[in-house]
Homo-oligomer: A and B are copies of this chain.
C-alpha cells in the first residue's frame, strides 16, 4: 500500500512552495490531484488565486532534497493518499467556513505511530508558556490520566502547559502527538529536545513545514489549527487573556470540536483566558474523567459522579429531621416538649423517634430523649 513516489514528490514540493494555510492551492490539488497540481504550479500555469499563494517560491523545487533530509532526520511524508492519513479528524475542516482553517497538503511525521489510529481517541491539552506551578501540575496530571485512559494527548511541545501535558502522557508510556511549527529535522524549543525525541520514539512528531523551516511567529498560530483538528476536544489549562492557547481554543470552536477549559484562582492572570472562555462557551473540566466524558464514546466514557460526603442523617424524612433537630444535645426531654419544639404532633414525634433510635441518632432514658451528638456542619 506504499504511496506512489510521484505523489510524495509532488506533495513535498507543494508543502515547500505554498505557505500554510494555502486554501486556494488546497482546493486546486483536491480538484486535479497532487501530481498535476504540482506540475501546473511549477510552470506557473494556474489561476490568479493559486498563483498568489505559490508564485514566490514555485521555482524552489527541493522535493527530492526535502524527502532525503526528512529521511535522514528519521521523518517521512504522510499524504492524504496514505491509509494512515487522519481523514476523519480532518473532516472538521469542512465545517469551518474559514480560509485559515484548511487541511494541510501533507504532514512530515516522525515516530512509530499511525496518525489515523492515534487520533481515534485523542484530546488536545494546551496552554500558557508562562504557566504557574498549579497549571503545570494540572496539565501533567491530565496528560497522565488521559493517557492511562487510552487517549492520545495532542499538544504543541511548547514550554509550560504543553510540555507538562506531553510529559504526563509519556510518564505512563502513553502515546502523545507533538505538532511543531518548524521543519521535521528541527526541534523547537531547544530545551525540549530530549522530550521531543522521546515523543518521536513512542508517539508522533508532526509538522506541515518543510525540512529546515524555522518556527516563525505566524507559523505557531497556523500550526494551532492542526492541534485542534487532530483531537476530539481541546482542553485549555491556563491561558492569559491574549495567547496562542486562546487561538487554539477559537480554532476548536470554529472546527466544531469540544472546547474545554480548566478554571483556576480568579486572582491568577494565568487563568484569566480560561475564565473568559468559560464565561463564553467552553465546558469547565476539573478532571480527566470529565474530559473523557465530554469527548468520548456516547454512554461508555461517562465520568463517575464525584464522591459526596455522607452523613448519619442522610435518608431521614422531613419529620424525622425536624425531631432530630429538636432533640437537645444534653438534658433529655419528653415527647410533649419535642412536639412543641419541632412543631409536630406527638404521634409524628413518636414515629420519628423510633427511626432515630434505630439509627443511633437518638438516646432514650426513662421516657426522655436526647440527641447522640455529632459535630455540627454546614
Contacts and interface: CB of A to CB of B under 8 A. Distances in A.
25 contacts: A19-B322, A52-B345, A54-B343, A55-B345, A56-B342, A56-B343, A56-B344, A57-B343, A128-B378, A216-B325, A217-B325, A218-B321, A218-B325, A240-B378, A262-B266, A263-B264, A263-B275, A263-B278, A263-B284, A265-B265, A275-B286, A278-B284, A279-B283, A279-B286, A279-B290
A307 B273 CA distance: 11
A71 interface: no
A122 to B, nearest CB: 22
A346 to B, nearest CB: 8
A12 interface: no
A322 B218 contact: yes
B264 A265 contact: yes
Q: What is the count of identical protomers in the complex?
A: 2
A292 B286 CA distance: 27
B19 A342 contact: yes
Nearest to A307: B241
A378 B340 contact: no
B241 A306 contact: yes
Given A217-B377, A241-B306, 17 more contacts: A53-B343, A56-B342, A56-B346, A134-B267, A217-B324, A218-B322, A219-B325, A220-B378, A241-B307, A244-B378, A263-B266, A263-B284, A264-B265, A272-B286, A275-B284, A278-B278, A279-B290
A241 to B, nearest CB: 5
A287 interface: yes
A188 B230 CA distance: 56
Q: Which of A18, A130, A218, A306 has the most CB of B within 10 A?
A: A218
Interface in A292-308: 306-308
Contacts of A134: 265, 267
A308 B246 CA distance: 13
Contacts of A279: 283-284, 286, 290
Contacts of A283: 279
A367 interface: no
A61 to B, nearest CB: 13
Contacts of A240: 309, 378
A9 interface: no
Given A19-B322, A290-B279, A325-B218, A266 B343 contact: no
Q: Which of A130, A216, A283 has the most CB of B within 10 A?
A: A216
A308 B241 contact: yes
Nearest to A309: B242
Interface string A232-271: 0000000011111100000000000000001111110001
Closest 3 CB pairs of A and B: A263-B263, A19-B343, A216-B325
Interface string A98-141: 00000000000000000000000000000011100010011000
A29 interface: no
Interface in A148-181: 158
Contacts of A60: 340
Contact of A18 (B220, B309, B343): B343
Q: Which of A267, A271, A290, A343 has the most CB of B within 10 A?
A: A343
A35 interface: no
Q: Which of A19, A220, A243, A245 has the most CB of B within 10 A?
A: A19
Contacts of A267: 134, 137-138
A377 to B, nearest CB: 8
A372 interface: no
Interface string A34-76: 0000000000000000001111110010000000000000000
